[in-house]
Structure 1
């Protein structure tokens, strides 16, 4: 978490290839709300950035990966925005996990707390969508698998304090505008709640610091 009096920071990683898609609207809505709450929010559109998801043998962090890591270290919450394809996140999101979150990861970390120290205390939020319904995903075990094998696994491995996942179901081309507006309303609610949580934590840290100074 941030340890200064700066505004809380949200890093929004977007993994959808089509501009003006629902996922783009989700990322933009979340960013707008965070900024309305006087917090910092940046969208990292992986397709627009031409992000390379391929992890190569013996790869060491390149300047672009180092830049992503620096932003991750400075943020309070990492927000993934993506569509569920074939029961999993898109390859570009998984590539981001492997190349960025895992940039300084070592196999021996699995038996220690070293990996958990990489992003210790930061929040991890996912906003996903699918063309199918959540019951359909549940019936096929895809939702449970995603929550355990991706969300919870990453949170535990890298030390995120939690792994919240908000899913938007039955989003297809031609979906009625009123339904899309309803879903984007949920995005706004989620973003405002996150901003409120981060602001309270920031204020608590500032108060504790001031009390420490007063008592020193």
Structure 2
């Protein structure tokens, strides 16, 4: 399998970026390919352009979108790695989805609306928040996010939603030991979801 790991955090030394790296390393250790798309370090422009909005004449995408689609076109798994800001993905990740996973890559027009173009692919998410994990779950914030982002993107594009792994209580001063336990959990989740016994190979 080949994984496109899309990470959205402005600090390259953040736990979020470490999670993306741990994911990539574990996938490679299992014999999978992985490519990390670090949106901030790439300088990805998340702003949807007027000409990219589908209309009677279709949609025209810039060279950056075409290049990104080429980078991830052969991936079997799309992994989103990001912090929750106001219980939602960072704007740069939402813009990435708006521009890259839109018409011509994620779906195509059809008489009934749209047809998915990524059937047989998989979507997994790893998120963090400063709020305690129990609060994020008990208030319904995580369920709401999963419904309007994970599940919707997967459904429109035809992907199978594998899992959403969340770690809460990530605050400044988190100990190296606590961070290490989270990264061990990430590696275990990658093995569980995509290893020999997962049924996805």
Structure 1 length-normalised TM: 0.82
> For structure 1, which runs of at least 5 residues remain unmatched after alignment?
1-7, 203-216
C-alpha spacing 1:106/1:195, structure 2 compared with 1 (3 Å): closer
Matches within 5 A, 1:3-152: 8-59=1-52, 60-104=60-104, 109=110, 111-114=112-115, 116=116, 118-152=117-151
1:39–1:195 CA contact under 8 A, matched in 2: no
Unaligned segments of structure 2, at least 5 residues: 53-59
CA pair 107-41 structure 1, distance change in 2 beyond 3 A? closer
Q: Give the greater-gyration-radius structure (CA).
A: 1
Tell me, yes or no, if the aligned pair for 1:13 and 1:79 is still in contact at 8 Å: yes
Compared CA separation, residues 122 and 173, structure 1 to 2 (3 A): same
User: How many aligned residue pairs are there?
Assistant: 193
Alpha-carbon separation, structure 1, partners of 2:142 and 2:21: 25
Q: Over the residues paired in the alignment, what is the CA RMSD in angstroms?
A: 2.2
Higher strand proportion: 2
Q: 1:163: Cα distance to partner? A: 4.2
Write the deviation string for residues 43-63 of structure 1: whole angstroms up to 9, x where unpaired.
100000000000011132222
Structure with bigger helix share is 1
